[in-house]
Each structure stands twice: as C-alpha cells, then as structure tokens.
Amino acid sequence: MSANFLFNAAWLILWDRELIHAASGCLWAMTICSLAAASFNYLRVYKQGFDLNLYKPSELWLNRLLVQNGLEVYVTWTLIASFVNSVVAVQYPPQGYTAADPKMAALIALAVLAGLFVLWFPFEISVFDKYCRYAVTQYAVIPFAMGGIYARKDTINIPEIEYLVLAFGIAGLAMLLIKLFLLVYRSKHNPLFPPIRG
C-alpha cells in the first residue's frame, strides 16, 4: 500500500500541474497497487481463516467486514476514476496528435468498464467465492459512481452515454443484491469454515 500512497501523492501533484497523461498513468498504477493489496489480503485471510475462525473469530470478521470491504471500495473507486481520467486524457493529446472524439472515448471507457464487471461477477461468485465471499461494497460503489456521472448529464448531453451510465448503475445494483443474497444463503448452508463440534 505504500506504493499506492506514493502514486496517489504523485497523481495529485501531476493533476494540479495539468500533466494529465502522467496523472492518468499514476491513477492506473494506484488501481493496480490497490488490487494487488486486496488480492494479497484475500489470499492470506483464506489461508489463515480456519485458525482465525477457531481462535480469533472477531479478528476474522473485522478483517472481512472492514479491511476487505474497505479495500474493495478503494479498488472500485480508483478503477472507475482511472477510466474517467483516461477519457479526459485522450481529449487533450500531446502536441502533434489528434484529440479523440469525446463521445467515442466515453462510450469505449464505459463499455470496457461494464464488460470488466460483467465478466468478473460470475467468477467472483463461483471460482473466487472462497476468497471474496464477504466483499460486497464494490457493487455498492458502481451505482453511487454512475449516479454521480448521471447527475452531471447536463454536461454530457449525449443520450447514448446517459443510457449506458444508467444501465451500468442498475446492473451494479442488481449485482449487489445477487451478491448479498448469495452471501446470506452460502453462509448459512455452506460456511467457509464450519464450526468444529465434538
């Protein structure tokens, strides 16, 4: 996470100096670092989960609820911010290059972002369930972020983007509800670390 904080500080300085392309690179680096931190935490908690559940259950639950969900908020927020920042960056190219069409850049960014979540969601609830069953906040960030973008639709004024933002926000809400349902159902019927009786 230390590298993440350094990239965050660099992003703030670069963005303030209007070095948009370098700032965009720092934001992507922040996203990658935070994703690595979350992945490391998931792996360590799963590997130590049986012992934590047996000897320190409160520590296990605090890690699941606060650390993992906090990291997921940060990962999701920086991922969305990276795409938004990239859209801005391609509209202000270096000298000698042509600026990208704002509508096309925004549509591509939203489509790729939505595609990432749509592809990731089935893997998360099946293959990676044992690692990230209790992380749900990433799906709460999506409607929140898309709501913020949609609220500024007067500056967008492009119907296709408005519809895609609205659809992605609704899809994020649907993923959140499905994830919560599966969390409750699987925790009751298929706990990760069943209690030891005897």
What is the identity of the amino acid at 190? Answer: N
Question: With a cut of 70, which residues of the chain have pLDDT below it?
Answer: 1, 153-156, 196-198
Measured CA to CA, the distance from residue 81 to residue 12 in angstroms comes to 13
pLDDT of residue 154: 65
Give the count of alpha carbons within 13 A of 144, CB side only.
11
* C-alpha to C-alpha distance for 139 and 166, rounded to whole angstroms: 14
pLDDT at 101: 85
Q: Of 138, 115, 126, 174, whose CA–CA distance to 35 is shortest?
A: 138
Residue at 143: amino acid letter = P
Query: How is residue 25 written in tokens?
Result: 């690179």
pLDDT of residue 106: 87
pLDDT given for residue 43 in this prediction: 95
Q: Which of these, 38, 41, 40, 55, lies nearest to 193 by C-alpha position? A: 55
Q: Which pLDDT score, from 0 to 100, does residue 197 have? A: 64
Measured CA to CA in angstroms, residue 119 lies from 26, 110, 115 at distances of: 25, 14, 6
pLDDT at 156: 66
Q: Which of 23, 156, 26 is nearest to 92 (CA)?
A: 23
CA 185/CA 158 separation, integer angstroms: 41
Residue 138 in contact with residue 73, Cβ under 8 Å?
A: yes
Domains of the chain, by residue range, sit at 1-189
